[in-house]
């Protein structure tokens, strides 16, 4: 716009000169009227030029304001702007870039950018420039920046090639963004995911994720051991392949009810086939994991082997059957005994000795009946005791092994998906039991919850360093707990702690 105004003004001046020259050269001696006409034309052109001059001044003012705004936007941008040459020398930088590096702006100019990078980051920067030049397109890389005051931050450098004078790539226009917060968040998220994976792997019950088609997506070690297949093999199979045919309908019915929204979770008994062909009775707790939009993703299944519980139940049933058989066998004897006693009483009413014998026989029979009744009560009460013991095992395991890990995970900042998973774990893991921790707690009540947790990890083969990483404790703290456990269990120095803990599990 400025150039157009200037050209227009210059053309007007030339036109005026041409008109004046042509008219002045044609004047005669008495050409006063012609001179007045020329003066009038000149004044008209002068007014026109003044108007054009005002427009030109206004355009220049607008141009300066626009340049000021652009300069202000450039310097106060929330990201750092750089212009580099082919050798990584800083040709230009905005105020934000200088603030990010902690260096005065004028001291940055004509300085190599690598002076502001951490050790071993120079190669990454030069490789970035090489890729940008080779591709001719915008490229980005992550680098670590070292500020003048010794502080550090993670930066995202995005560059594009700019040819100058048509002579190939001679400059790079780059943007630097501080991504420290994002990197720290990613690292925390990775740490949380690592702990979740360790928890999933080390859980004392079978845990698995099953997709909507019934394919095993993820299984833990306990689930693999329970059915005898390796983790890799099991994750390539469908759940129906190891399910007892008689339990397929029941299982599918519960799954359909969960998918339809009639149930949030389901608990039921189910039988799996071991790789060796034997039946593994299990107790399942199934929940549905959904995405943020509420669409179903996976089924989260907790599986507990109930083989021992079934054995207790079978033993109790056999005892009840044996008691019933003995009672049935004794019934005719008792009936005949009563008849004989009645006959003896009727025939020997006058003989005191006979009466004493009959009374003795009756007392003996009564004692037998009392013994039988006592045995029956004991067998019936044993069933309740077994049930109570199992419930105590579950509560003990949740309190001392699972609750601390869940509480620690809940204290961390999680994304919505991880929070949802933890909430499901906390709600449904109330049915988990661990025979080792409960037996250890019931035998040695003087062990603290932390010592019981450490003892469980030692039994599972974890080293002191691994226990410290899992529990976010210092190495010395774990060693202190190990010594306390040995002392409270009364173990000698040469006794292997893991072997002893495994023997009482």
pLDDT digits 0-9 by tens, 193-221: 888 888 888 888 999 999 999 999 999 99
**Greater model confidence, 341 or 313:** 313
Q: What is the mean pLDDT of residues 339-362?
A: 70
Query: What is the distance between the alpha carbons of residues 476 and 460, in angstroms, rounded to a whole number?
Result: 20
Supply 292's token pair.
Answer: 């943020």
In 3D space, the residue among 312, 304, 284 whose CA is nearest the CA of residue 204 turns out to be 304
Q: Residue 62's beta-bridge partner residues?
A: none
Distance CA 336, CA 361 (A): 12
Nearest to 504 by CA among 471, 468, 462, 458: 458
Q: Flag whether the pTM goes above 0.85.
A: no
Query: Are the beta carbons of 82 and 93 closer than 8 angstroms?
Result: yes
Question: How many CA atoms lie within 13 Å of 4's alpha carbon, on the beta-carbon side?
Answer: 3
Structure confidence by residue, pLDDT tens digits, 30-39: 456 666 776 7
* Cβ atoms of residues 114 and 125 within 8 Å: yes
- CATH 2.60.130.10 assigned to domain 80-178? The reply is no
Q: Give the per-residue pLDDT at 431.
A: 44
Alpha-carbon gap, residue 474 to 200, rounded angstroms: 23
For residues 421 and 408, what is the distance between their CA atoms, to the nearest angstrom? Answer: 14
* CB-CB neighbours of 438 under 10 Å: 22
> Mean per-residue pLDDT for 236-251?
92
What are the backbone dihedrals phi and psi of residue 27, each rounded to the nearest 5 degrees, phi first?
A: -70, 145
Residue 249 is predicted with a pLDDT of: 92
pLDDT single digits (tens) 432-470: 544 445 555 555 546 777 887 788 778 778 788 887 776
- Triad 341, 345, 346: Cα angle to 5°: 120
pLDDT winner (highest mean) among 19-23, 115-119, 402-406: 115-119
Identify the CATH class of 187-305: alpha beta
Rounded to an integer, what distance in angstroms lies between the CA atom of residue 333 and that of residue 16? 150
């Amino acid at each position: 716009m400025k150039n157009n105004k200037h050209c227009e003004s210059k053309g007007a001046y030339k036109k005026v000169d041409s008109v004046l020259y042509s008219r002045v050269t044609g004047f005669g001696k008495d050409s006063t009227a012609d001179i007045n006409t020329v003066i009038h034309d000149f004044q008209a052109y002068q007014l026109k030029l003044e108007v054009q001059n005002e427009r030109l001044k206004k355009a220049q003012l607008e141009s300066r304001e626009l340049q000021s705004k652009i300069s202000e936007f450039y310097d106060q941008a929330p990201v750092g702007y750089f212009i580099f040459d082919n050798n990584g020398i800083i040709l230009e930088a905005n105020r934000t870039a200088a603030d990010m590096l902690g260096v005065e702006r004028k001291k940055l100019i004509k300085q190599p950018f690598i002076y502001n990078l951490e050790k071993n980051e120079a190669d990454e920067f030069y490789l970035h420039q090489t890729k940008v030049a080779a591709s001719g397109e915008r490229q980005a890389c992550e680098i670590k920046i070292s500020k003048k005051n010794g502080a550090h931050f993670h930066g995202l450098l995005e560059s594009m090639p700019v040819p100058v004078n048509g002579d190939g790539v001679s400059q790079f226009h780059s943007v630097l963004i501080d991504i420290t917060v994002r990197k720290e968040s990613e690292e925390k998220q990775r740490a949380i995911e690592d702990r979740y994976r360790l928890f999933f792997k080390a859980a004392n019950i079978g845990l698995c994720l099953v997709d909507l088609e019934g394919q095993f997506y993820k299984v833990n070690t306990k689930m693999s051991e329970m059915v005898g297949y390796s983790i890799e093999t099991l994750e390539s199979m469908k759940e129906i392949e190891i399910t007892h045919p008689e339990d397929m309908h029941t299982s599918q019915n519960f799954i359909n009810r969960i998918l339809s929204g009639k149930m949030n979770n389901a608990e039921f008994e189910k039988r799996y086939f071991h790789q060796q062909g034997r039946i593994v009775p299990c107790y399942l707790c199934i929940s549905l994991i959904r995405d943020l939009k509420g669409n179903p993703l996976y089924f989260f299944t907790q599986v507990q082997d109930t083989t021992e519980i079934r054995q207790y139940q079978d033993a109790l049933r056999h005892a009840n059957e044996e008691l019933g058989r003995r009672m049935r066998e004794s019934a005719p004897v008792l009936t005949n005994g009563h008849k004989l006693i009645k006959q003896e009483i009727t025939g020997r009413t006058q003989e005191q000795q006979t009466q004493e014998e009959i009374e003795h026989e009756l007392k003996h029979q009564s004692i037998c009946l009392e013994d039988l009744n006592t045995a029956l009560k004991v067998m019936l009460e044993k069933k309740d005791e077994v049930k109570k013991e199992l419930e105590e095992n579950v509560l003990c395991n949740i309190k001392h092994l699972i609750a601390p890990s869940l509480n620690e995970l809940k204290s961390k900042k999680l994304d919505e998906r991880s929070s949802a998973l933890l909430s499901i774990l906390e709600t449904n893991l109330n049915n988990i039991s661990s025979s080792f921790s409960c037996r250890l707690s019931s035998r040695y009540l003087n062990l603290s919850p932390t010592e019981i947790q450490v003892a469980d990890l030692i039994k599972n083969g974890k080293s002191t360093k691994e226990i410290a990483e899992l529990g976010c404790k210092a190495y010395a703290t774990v060693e202190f707990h190990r010594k306390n456990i040995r002392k409270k269990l009364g173990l000698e120095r040469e006794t292997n702690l893991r072997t002893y803990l495994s023997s009482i599990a």
